[in-house]
Amino acid sequence: MNLNFEQLKIQFQQDLDLSNDAQSVEDLRIKYLGRKGLVQSLYSQLASLPNDQKPIFGKVINEFRQIVNQGLDDKKSSLGDSDAASKQQLMDLTLPGYRHENGHKHLLTQTIEEICDIFKQLGFVIEDGPEIESEFNNFAALNIPADHPSRDGFDTFYLDRKGAEHDGTLLRSHTSPGQIRIMQKYAPPLAVIIPGKVYRPDAVDASHSFMFHQIEGLLVDEEVRFSDLKGLLTTFCKRLFGNEIDMRFRPHFFPFTEPSAEVDISWSKGKRNWLEIMGCGMVHPNVFSAVGYKRGAYSGLAFGLGVERIAMLKYGINDIRVFYENDLRFLKQF
Amino acid sequence: MKLSTLWLKDYVLLRSSIDTLAHKLTMAGIEVEAISKKGSEHCLEMEITPNRPDCLSVTGLAREVAAVFNKKFEPPKIRTIKYPKSKCKVTVEDKNDCGLYMATVIKNVEVKPSPSWITKRLQSVDLKPISNIVDITNFCLMEMGQPMHAFDCDKLIGGNVIVRRAKKGETLVTIDGVLRALDPSMLVIADTQRPVAIAGIMGGKETEVTAQTKNILLECAYFDPILIRRTVRSLGLSSDSSYRFERGVDIQRSANANNRAVKLILNEALGEIAQFNHIGQKTFKTSKPIRVGLDKVSRFLGAPLKAKDCKRILKTLGCQVQVKRKDVFEVIPPSFRKDLNADVDIIEEVARTIGYDQLPMSMPKVRATEIKEDPMVQQREKIRRELMGQGLSETVAFSLINRNVLQSVRYPIDEPLIKIKNPLSLDQEVMRPVMFPSLLSIAANNINKGQKNIRIFEIGKVYRPPAEESEMVSILLAGVLQDGWRIHEREYDLPDIKGILEVLLMSFGNSLELFSPCEPAFTFLQQGASQWIKSGNGKSTVGCWGEVDKDILKTMKIKNTKVFYAEINLRALISQAQQIKKFTPLCDYPGIQRDISLSVNENLKLADIVSCVKTSKPQHLQSIDFVEEYRGEKVESGRKGLTIALSYQSKHETLTDQQVQEVHDQICQQLVNQLDVIIR
């Protein structure tokens, strides 16, 4: 057997260079590695060699077969790449993808979460309370006597119940009865946030709704100060609306806090345009008495805010009805 | 409450600009809502909170201004009048209704226009001058905060005055010309024959002072605030008078106000006092002193305050202040400040007069407590995450609805409802007992506006008598599923809603049965295409799912689309959520999957076949998956094609084909033996 392996290698390389598609590479594979291919015929010639030469030639054939294998593989994969590339050019990459869109959280829920998250970071716990309430929790315990002008701000839906002419069961007109429930259940220290739906008999228009959402906050401990109220709510407002807002605490009246204040914020630096965003104050001693706390043992701060109002101010919404119409075009904006 | 700078300046020296005045008053708790210019003066419109009836007068506000600007408050100098001994006849039937009634009869008055100093002041607060007598009562109301009324004395039949409850059936034409029906819940001023005024609210037309009036009876009284308030509500009639009586007039200074009015009448309308009567309280105890420690004030406000400043502020506001011990005050509030009862009230007076903006800020120490967050908060958030991940958007709807809406969705009429006693409209009539109408009307509105893919949910409450609030998760699908390529669009179908529910249940580790052979679900869902969701071995109903009845869609004007709905009680959904999951070791031996294609009787359900396969607990069988259901030419009528895939796997070895084949053949045999199936 007298074969020039170098010559064979050169020949293979030339064949390989000429193959430019998958078919010609396959043809080449058959020519060299097929059952009747060149490599196989080389092996079959081995038998006729003298024994001492068999290992030497065997080794050389093996080497050659590896070179062929490697060459064919490389060629194949390089062709494969350009094949795929040429196919991809046919695909219009400006076509939209298959969009399995996520749904959207209602903006009111987002606003409630945003507000609750700020207070959670400050150590408050989120609690819940029922919407159907007693007159005691909604009014009397909060130092709002019956037939008093301080009830004027709290027009209330009462339930029509058989048997009981007027048992005072009502739909809570604010989230403050949640304070009463928490204090009846737990002793201080406590720091809770109570979000929820509230109801007031109102005709629905751009700025009124008979159902809306409020968030109540309550912090009671042995020595809570008025300065804490200012500090806490300033931190809250700046986190919610940004550091650039201006704020003021304006004295106000709420039966269940003393001193009481309303919080105004303003974005415009020049001519101030103050927007009222929440009510707050130091828990009235009568409220502590109503829940059976020892008089003088604790002080506390409380605040309440309207979720719709906050969302409207923050996102530039001018009609409260948009929250309850649930138009998908609105829901998907946020 | 309106206040003019013109009038204000009578009692306090004011040099600040109108803007500063408005700002400082606002920051002291008297919110200025509007300012209008009147010549060189201004009129401020203010919101007076219900705890401050003393601010419903010019002198009251002047006192506030003086305190805030640290100026001197100079109230009008009012001299005591010597009233004649002769008494006009006044009867007060119940002193609880009327704590004080002063009647002054002035004879031979000259009714004419008021002098300009009075008309100017009335006009500065938008009050219309009428005649000197009426104007003086209005002037005193504004100046002193004491409502008064002048009767034409000659028109009072019997010449005397009775303060009593109205009798059933009595009526009165008030000075605004309206006939008012009265009842015994209302307090009236009457002569011997009939009511002549609704106490504290409005006088009668017949007895009002006119140009012809010669003799007047001037009323200066104190009426029970609650009584006045109720009457205002039931008559739907309020006035400057009633507004003040409701909030509380200072009974201790009524005599003073009467002196002021009588003196002004004698000056401006001449005449002489003929008779006088004073029924009710004449002397008053001073208010109980409130003890306030300066250290407590400082600690409570978080600001060190000076005793001198506190004392000055409280004195200007009309309090008597005595220093008991070092830095301990005893404060006696003035009679017009019924809102000052406890030390916190005194602290607020100091704080608001200094200005809240002048006080320091601190961050509270929030101590960790054992109060645990309501677990529902987290679970609701998880439900939202799961459903949003499945492409559903959240809606929020009213919990109060119109009862007719329930009828139109065929909600059972005999189910009890929570009704509202005082709805403003029919849309606030009842609390929703089911969420379906809310979501359906949202879907209808969106379809109307051209939305094609409705995929929504709500987490909200439903309400049942007596006061049950249950939280539900409701889901609605309508229209077509879209992924951005229109060619892929397809209409929603029943498995879409079921799939959403299944994934939701799985994410809460919940194994509630979505199919139970029982009566059809809510009548708003289509029979045969809807199911109750049962829990506790089918004992209680916790939800439902299915296709919405087509007739209901018609009444809601929803056309050309099917609608699918599901709801589930939130507590039932999350009942397994607290359990800690345990890890299942992963198996590395390869599994083998074998499909079985069957031709089965139409009445057979997948569940029947699955349970038949499972009965013998076949070895190595890991799972049974549904592949497809087929109806058509390849199966004879009355039958359907059904393909399931069985997966076999062992935890201990690689299964051979032969091992699997044995089990698989047994399963096939079992199916053929026990059910009406043919292997295809």
Q: Is residue B276 part of a domain?
A: yes
d(CA B513, CA B525): 18
d(CA B230, CA B244): 14
Q: Quick one: pLDDT at residue A165?
A: 59
For residues B156 and B305, membership in a common domain is answered with no
CB B574 within 8 A of CB B481: no
CB B265 within 8 A of CB B251: no
Closest to A192 (Cα-Cα) out of A214, A217, A224, A215: A217
Question: Given its phi and psi angles, is residue A50 left (phi above 0), alpha (psi -120 to 50 degrees) or beta?
Answer: beta
Give the residues of chain A that fall short of pLDDT 50. Answer: none
For residues B572 and B596, membership in a common domain is answered with no
CB B330 within 8 A of CB B291: yes
**CATH code, domain with B658:** 3.30.70.380
Closest to B675 (Cα-Cα) out of B593, B586, B615: B615
Q: How many domains does chain B have?
A: 5
Residue A210, chain B, CB below 8 Å: the answer is yes
Q: B650 CA to chain A: closest CA distance, Å? A: 37
In this complex, the residue of A103, A126, A324 whose CB is nearest that of residue B374 is A126
Q: pLDDT means per 10 residues in chain B (680 residues)?
A: 95 92 94 92 94 95 93 92 93 95 96 95 95 96 96 91 95 95 95 95 95 95 94 93 94 94 94 94 87 90 88 92 88 94 93 92 91 89 96 97 92 90 91 96 95 96 92 96 89 95 91 72 84 80 92 91 95 86 88 92 91 91 93 86 94 90 93 90
Nearest residue of B to residue A248, measured between CA atoms: B357
For residues B48 and B110, membership in a common domain is answered with no
**CATH code, domain with B561:** 3.30.930.10
For residues B380 and B527, membership in a common domain is answered with yes
Binding-face residues of A in 220-279 toward B, CB within 8 A:
221, 223-232, 234-235, 248-253, 255, 258-261
Q: Quick one: pLDDT at residue A38?
A: 85
d(CA B464, CA B434): 9
Q: A261 CA to chain B: closest CA distance, Å? A: 8
Q: A223 and B299 in contact by Cβ < 8 A?
A: yes
Q: Quick one: pLDDT at residue A31?
A: 86
Question: Given its phi and psi angles, is residue A185 left (phi above 0), alpha (psi -120 to 50 degrees) or beta?
Answer: alpha
Token readout for A131 is 């919407």
Q: Quick one: pLDDT at residue A166?
A: 65
* Chosen domain end from B305, B322, B357: B357
Q: B342 and A285 in contact by Cβ < 8 A?
A: yes
Report the mean per-residue pLDDT for chain B.
Answer: 92
For residues B249 and B144, membership in a common domain is answered with yes
Q: Is residue B75 part of a domain?
A: no
Nearest residue of A to residue B353, measured between CA atoms: A251
* Chosen domain end from B280, B299, B318: B280
Percent of chain B residues past pLDDT 90, beyond the cut: 77
Q: B373 and A148 in contact by Cβ < 8 A?
A: no
Residue B52, chain A, CB below 8 Å: the answer is yes
Q: Quick one: pLDDT at residue B26?
A: 94
For residues B503 and B642, membership in a common domain is answered with no
Query: What residues make up the domain containing B476?
Result: 375-576
Dihedral sign for Cα atoms in the order A114, A117, A121, A126: positive
For residues B400 and B316, membership in a common domain is answered with no
Residue A17, helix vs strand vs coil: helix
Q: Quick one: pLDDT at residue A176?
A: 96
In this complex, the residue of B49, B230, B359 whose CB is nearest that of residue A252 is B49
Q: B467 and A169 in contact by Cβ < 8 A?
A: yes
* Chosen domain end from B280, B301, B328: B280
Q: Quick one: pLDDT at residue B413?
A: 85
For residues B135 and B261, membership in a common domain is answered with yes
Residue B58, helix vs strand vs coil: helix
Residue B361, chain A, CB below 8 Å: the answer is yes
Binding-face residues of A in 117-156 toward B, CB within 8 A:
122-128, 130-132, 147-150, 152
For residues B43 and B186, membership in a common domain is answered with no
Q: B368 and A123 in contact by Cβ < 8 A?
A: yes
For residues B115 and B219, membership in a common domain is answered with yes
Q: Quick one: pLDDT at residue A37?
A: 84
For residues B597 and B560, membership in a common domain is answered with no
Q: Is residue B365 part of a domain?
A: no
d(CA B277, CA B89): 7
For residues B513 and B572, membership in a common domain is answered with yes
Q: B420 and A248 in contact by Cβ < 8 A?
A: no
Q: Is residue B80 part of a domain?
A: no
